[in-house]
Structure 1
Amino acid sequence: MENQVAAASGKLGVLVPGMGAVATTFIAGVEATKKGLAKPIGALTQMSNIRLGKRTENRYPKIKDFVPLASLEQIVFGGWDVYNENVYQAATNAKVLQQTQLDAIKAELEAITPMPAVFDREYVKNLDGQHIKAKDTKWNWALALMEDIKNFKEKNNCERLVMVWCASTEKYIETTDIHETIEAFEAAMQADDDRIAPSMIYAYAAIKMGVPFANGAPNLSCDIPALVDLAKELGVAIAGKDFKTGQTLMKTIVAPGLAARALGVNGWFSSNILGNRDGLVLDDPDNFKTKEVSKLSVLEEIFQPEDNPDLYGELYHKVRINYYPPHGDNKESWDNIDIFGWMGYPMQIKINFLCRDSILAAPIVLDLALFMDLAQRANMSGIQEWLSFYFKSPQTAEGLKPEHDIFKQLIKLQNTLRHMMGEDLITHLGLDYYQDLVESL
């Protein structure tokens, strides 16, 4: 497959719907790294190594030196937002990064201004921005976004584009008949159907323009049959859903360990407080339900209670998110885990994670942008399940259960890169070392 990966030549435009705390932290981090003022900690594409061949070969290159990724110097930023602030102003207001750090890259950030957003307050009731496209049919909104994409690419002389959704969580909706086929979906947009969410319009516009789309929120977005089929038909990579950052990151680390040791779990209570724009949006019950569904699915898929009733058949899982303005972007999560071991004796685990939401999300945005661009150049269209590592609720082909174990997700990601470059896959079996030894005696 190595020869099928096109070179990462020219500029790569990274388009971001929603230029709030996550997006501005991501952009500022890349610009600071380019000037040698920071390091891209947390980004596998920049910091991680990958093993090639046998352990005895001692081949552990950086991922960025192994696969043909676009470099940070090739990236050009753009996007949409409901507030008319350049990235410097938005990052200052988000209060994630120190002002001295922002001031050091002020010129670069001030040069990036958002385009007017497609916005429907029915889907995000707690926001009321004014920097939005005039009310129109959702079909015409899609056409306007496609025109934005075309103009951005031409104006910035970009060779390729990717789009990563960093905007708010929309209210909870389920797939209906209008989401089943592209014909029904397009007809519904032309009829200005209420069941077409703004994120779906962005996803549709991206796919139609040949732009890979990654969904960082739990919204349906491109996770509907119509857009999955369209992506396959047009040869466009898609992935989602919902960046795996704080509490769910910890669950996908801890839960596989408990399952590996066959320890029982009968209760897992999770509570969060955060005060950024995401917290404000999730303060509405309709929007919280979308996030709740995404977060609740993780433990069921890891523990598989239907196959392990003695260990997890009575598992009670509860998730709470509370808006708390004083904490800003500094999310705090508490997990109480009631476990039991030998002969049913109870034990407890307490986790108090004082994390920074946008600091954890920013490297995910970078990795997804670069890996989605890589997938597109490798002709890997449709759902990119190998990027499940980055998502709370990984999008999969119909009928496939998602893999939530972060360690298995990492193996899948690394083996996909090895396969892409014509290297042997690694199973970690290791028996050949010992079989060879026995045969030599």
Structure 2
Amino acid sequence: MSFVPARTGVWLMGARGSVATTAVTGALALRAGLAGTDGCVTELPALARPWLPPIPSLVFGGHDIADTPLPKKAEALGAAGVLPAHLASALTAELSEVDAAVLPLPPSVDGIARDLVAFREAHGLDRVVVINVASTEPVPSDDLLNADAETLPPSSRAAWAAFLAGCAYVDFTPSTGARLPALDALAREHGVPYAGNDGKTGETLVKSVLAPMFAARNLRVRSWSGLNLLGGGDGARLADPAANAAKTASKQRVLADTLGYQPQGTTRIDYVETLGDFKAAWDLISFSGFLGTTMRMEFTWHGCDSALAAPLILDLARLTAAAHAAGRSGPLPELAFFFKDPIGTAPAALADQWSLLTSFVEDLSGSFPGAGEV
């Protein structure tokens, strides 16, 4: 008998946003044979396994406070060059079907949990992964540890509800999410894994490659400053100083973790409305070498945020669901490859994170003995 992967649902917090819409449209396009798998890390030979839930089989639902239907959002993203323009019209019926499973956000943790259980039961799913792609929250106050379920920030209430419902949780934002001792205990109690935080898609991805180069060559980084220009809904949200502070702290952390010290300099994020869903970053690095000779390096990054993030959402859904099926609970530091500020103890350099990720997949293979290899 051939191996059949578990039937997996993906519940998106912020389901009508640009990242979620791009991820859903991409999965539907793969199902219809209208797109390839470029950008999907789990499709690489080192990670592809038959026990991972196939992308075309993923079932989507979610919560959102926005009311723009997914077909309209996809149409707008097509007009902006984020998606191939023909996909929105080709997948209107399929997007409408997913949109019917996007619900208003309930005011209580129990209400969120009930929606998750109903979604799982209605679609006959083996498990559900909740992924937070909603707007970035401000840095929490010091008294957060004493908050109850209903006064936690939205990302933490979503994590709480996911764990109560027996669902895995992934935070693709720098928000608090599951990073609270009480939530870690709850995840372990209910036997579910979680991962995060803050998806690594642009400037920080480059930092996680370049910083180890300087460290390995024993070159002293004197300063590293970056300017990020971002449009779209994320850019507008980050115009709020409190949300901006949470994001910049996440982006800067990789340097100290990799180099072993914090060089001078800052990361700045500015909102430029005309950029839409695209972003640009410019970094200036000064460093010194033998005899103290000072040198510098510059790089510029231009990218489409949703197109970079969306395939990682699909990857994380597949890997986290597989970890859940294998009996993992609590944090998944092995997924650090995907995050700016990963939960748990993990290396900061991208190459080391890649090695950790491939070892994780290899270890999980032992939990699916009937699946064979690709």
* 1:2-41 aligned within 5 A: 8-9=5-6, 11-19=7-15, 20-41=17-38
Number of equivalenced pairs: 360
Secondary structure at the counterpart of residue 284 of structure 2: strand
Structure 1 segments of 4 or more deviating over 6 A?
Answer: none
AA at the equivalent of 2:358: Q
Give unmatched runs, 5+ long, in structure 1: 1-5, 51-62, 119-132, 306-311, 424-441
Is the CA contact (8 Å cut-off) linking 1:338 and 1:347 kept in structure 2? yes
Is the CA contact (8 Å cut-off) linking 1:7 and 1:377 kept in structure 2? no
Structure 2 CA distance for aligned equivalents of residues 342 and 317 of structure 1:
22
Secondary structure at the counterpart of residue 279 of structure 1: helix
CA apart distance, 1:422: 4.4
Among 135, 146, 149, the residue aligned to 1:168: 135
Structure 2 CA distance for aligned equivalents of residues 205 and 77 of structure 1:
17
Q: Deviations over 1:193-241 (max 9, x none)?
A: 3xx1011111100011110000000011101101011111111000110
Is the CA contact (8 Å cut-off) linking 1:89 and 1:110 kept in structure 2? no
Aligned to 1:416: 360
Secondary structure at the counterpart of residue 140 of structure 2: coil
AA at the equivalent of 2:27: V
* 1:147-296 aligned within 5 A: 147-174=114-141, 176=143, 179=145, 188-189=148-149, 192-193=150-151, 196-296=152-252
Is the CA contact (8 Å cut-off) linking 1:275 and 1:326 kept in structure 2? yes
Give unmatched runs, 5+ long, in structure 2: 368-374
Aligned to 2:58: 75
Aligned to 1:93: 76
Among 350, 375, 384, the residue aligned to 2:323: 375
CA apart distance, 1:175: 5.3
Structure 2 CA distance for aligned equivalents of residues 230 and 7 of structure 1:
30
* 1:275-424 aligned within 5 A: 275-305=231-261, 315-396=263-344, 400=345, 402-422=346-366
CA apart distance, 1:83: 1.1
> Residue 164 and residue 286 in structure 1: after superposition, are their counterparts in 2 closer, same or farther (change >3 A)?
same
TM-score, with normalisation over the residues of structure 2?
0.92
> Residue 385 and residue 198 in structure 1: after superposition, are their counterparts in 2 closer, same or farther (change >3 A)?
same
Identity of aligned residues (%): 32
CA apart distance, 1:155: 2.1
Structure 2 CA distance for aligned equivalents of residues 228 and 71 of structure 1:
28
CA apart distance, 1:174: 4.4
Structure 2 CA distance for aligned equivalents of residues 72 and 392 of structure 1:
24
CA apart distance, 1:117: 4.0
CA apart distance, 1:243: 0.4
Is the CA contact (8 Å cut-off) linking 1:394 and 1:403 kept in structure 2? no
TM-score, with normalisation over the residues of structure 1?
0.78
AA at the equivalent of 1:159: D
Instruction: Please identify the structure whose Cα radius of gyration is greater.
Output: 1
AA at the equivalent of 1:158: L
CA apart distance, 1:159: 2.2
Is the CA contact (8 Å cut-off) linking 2:156 and 2:178 kept in structure 1? yes
Structure 2 CA distance for aligned equivalents of residues 112 and 166 of structure 1:
16
Structure 2 CA distance for aligned equivalents of residues 42 and 154 of structure 1:
31
